[in-house]
Copies of this chain bind each other. A is one copy, B any other.
């Protein structure tokens, strides 16, 4: 690839930042990849992983310019650091799970003539930190961009080199609403199901619960740190989703209260139709993606 990024700075040597470094290093060995990591423990762990050329404790310690800087830190920290990071890089991108605050900050920076791209790789795992990083973390996963803020070709190519699928949604609003419906709200649904099930003795649940229980409540095991900020930053759309969820549950409540078999059948059939619709669309999308390889 001719116009590859050859000097990359990763802000935040956590799971995502270090996984990106591992994947970039595997794809093209002879590039410079530095990191900035403020936490001592993460910095030592990142140095042990050995994928970064240098790991600086602070953006002010950075001594040179880069072709690409990646904000791989939580959205609020990314918003605070974006300006100073964009001073040392030709291109600045983020990988945060919410896009409205990022786009707002990037717009202000872009007014100074700097080039910023909001992005969001749909990848992660339960355990965080540089020690949990994997070069394959992004393989086959969508890497979201916004039509309102298109990425340069070389950035889309880099994402594809990491194994991800560059995928456009309309706008930051559209992104955040989709994530509320497909991830953040789903997360709270799982936690609510777990809490509602505490009406059963723990030992009984442990002995008799089947796969449905374990699958539907599994997100309750997630560490809370990431989620608190994400849910608060996206709370308007998450509340919209939860409002819709309450309406759907209330439909089942009414059907059961009335012992209305026909209504209940309709509701079950509608849900099956919805699921089959999205499964079908996924199968078509997968087939189309594989054909175009």
The answer to whether A115 has its CB under 8 Å from any CB of chain B is no
A269 to B187, CA, bound (A): 13
From A33-41, A131-139, A252-260, give the one contacting chain B: A252-260
Asked if residues A202 and B277 are in contact (CB atoms below 8 Å), the reply is yes
Asked if residues A215 and B217 are in contact (CB atoms below 8 Å), the reply is no
Q: Tell me which residues across on chain B come within 8 A of A169, comparing CB atoms.
A: 204, 208
Whether A181 touches B206, Cβ cut-off 8 Å, given contacts A212-B219, A224-B272, A274-B220, is no
Q: Tell me which residues across on chain B come within 8 A of A111, comparing CB atoms.
A: none
The answer to whether A281 has its CB under 8 Å from any CB of chain B is yes
The answer to whether A32 has its CB under 8 Å from any CB of chain B is no
Give residues 161-180 of A contacting B (CB, 8 Å). Answer: 167, 169, 177-178
The answer to whether A249 has its CB under 8 Å from any CB of chain B is yes
Asked if residues B191 and A268 are in contact (CB atoms below 8 Å), the reply is yes
Asked if residues A178 and B198 are in contact (CB atoms below 8 Å), the reply is no
Nearest chain B residue, comparing its CB with the CB of A193: B189
The answer to whether A285 has its CB under 8 Å from any CB of chain B is yes
The answer to whether A48 has its CB under 8 Å from any CB of chain B is no
The answer to whether A1 has its CB under 8 Å from any CB of chain B is no
The answer to whether A275 has its CB under 8 Å from any CB of chain B is yes
Residues of A within 8 A of B (CB): 122, 141-142, 144, 167, 169, 177-178, 181-183, 185-200, 202-210, 212-213, 215-224, 227-228, 231-232, 235, 238-253, 256-257, 259, 261, 264-265, 267-272, 274-279, 281-282, 284-285
